[in-house]
Amino acid sequence: MSDTMFQKIARQVLRIEAKAIIDLIPRINKNFDQAVNLIADCKGRVVITGMGKPGLIGIKISATMASLGIPSLFLHPGEAVHGDLGRVTKDDIVIAISNSGQTEEMTKLLPIIKKIGVRLIGFTGNMKSVLAEYSDVVLNVGVKKEACPFNLAPTASTTATLAMGDALAVAVLEKKGFKIEDYAFYHPGGSLGKKLLTVKDLMRKGAQNPIVLQSDKVKTVLLQITKSRAGCATIIDKNKKVVGIFTDGDLRRHIETESDILACPVSKVMTKNPTTIFKNKLAAEALKTFKEKKIDEIPVVDENKHPVGLLDVQDLLKAGVV
């Protein structure tokens, strides 16, 4: 079956927009480094502004930065000159987006931004524009042609701008040493948030976390497990370090070989050197451990191997970590 006209158009659009992004690569230079450093050292927020389609791209770039721990907001240039400039302080960084660099609303806004004392990063396709002249740092996001057949509708240019914004956000992330735990903090909702919960968020502690000495009798341990409504007990030595775990599986495995198992010290029938986990690990990592080790409970320990909690696979399932 031959390609339809629409398939050919779609492929052509994708080629043009892909080339627009590829063409940005040689333009990553010292200006890009300066922009990264300005944002990373910013004591305020990254305020992004743009009119029309570039403004919509600016909203997305601002949202990306916020999700990566970079305080950011979008400022509509039309509203800015009618009072919303009060949102901008001298501690902020402004990223102004305009392909032509000559948009009327933008040219009215730029002198006021500079008067506030804000450092300005310009995203533009016109390096001789008013925006370029006002900017402390200019990033060239120009394209040779739009994907629109009339070379008018912002298509390739907005794609290139979005890609440059992503590159800038990720570079700042690296500069600031942003970690996956930080990402989890800013994404507490939905399925993503559930996957980014930590062990600390879900582990059992206090009365729900039975901890017994290795010298305790099995009967005592079973009573503790029942009282805690847990599926196991964490076994510690005299230095309060985890040395084992006792589960109903251990009980079943030894009930035939030990004539008076209830009177045995739990150290005789426990699982020695059990898998443990730190409380700052992601719940998703814990789930992977449960699956790989084919176990149902994991003692949670600190750096000294002292127990601080207990994680049951059921706790992950109830929280929706799948």
pLDDT at 243: 97
In a domain, 32, yes or no: yes
Please say whether the beta carbons of 298 and 290 come within 8 A: yes
Instruction: Name the residue among 242, 252, 232 with its Cα closest to residue 273.
Output: 242
Q: What is the pLDDT of residues 120-134, one digit of tens each?
A: 999 999 999 999 999
Domain around 139: 5-178
Asked if 142 and 16 sit in the same domain, the reply is: yes
Same domain flag for 209 and 118 = no
Rounded CA-CA distance 98/137 in Å is 14
Q: Residue 299: inside a domain, yes or no?
A: yes
Q: In this structure, are residues 263 and 218 in contact, taking their beta carbons and an 8 Å threshold?
A: yes
- Is 185 a member of any domain? no
Q: Are residues 54 and 141 in the same domain?
A: yes
Q: Are 151 and 227 within one domain? A: no
Which pLDDT value is given to residue 116?
95
Tokens of 170: 């990720």
Could you tell me if 112 and 204 lie in one domain? no
Q: What is the DSSP letter of 217?
A: B
Query: What is the per-residue pLDDT for 2?
Result: 67
**Is residue 157 domain-shared with residue 37, that is, in the same domain?**
yes
Instruction: Report yes or no on 193 lying in a domain.
Output: no
DSSP string, 225-236: HHHHT-SEEEEE
| pLDDT tens string 71-96 | 999 999 999 989 999 999 999 999 99
Identify whether residues 14 and 155 lie together within a single domain: yes
Tokens 């907001």 locate to 73
Q: Rounded to an integer, what is the distance from CA 289 to the centroid of its chain?
A: 21
Low-confidence residues of the chain: pLDDT under 50: none
Is residue 163 situated within a structural domain?
Answer: yes
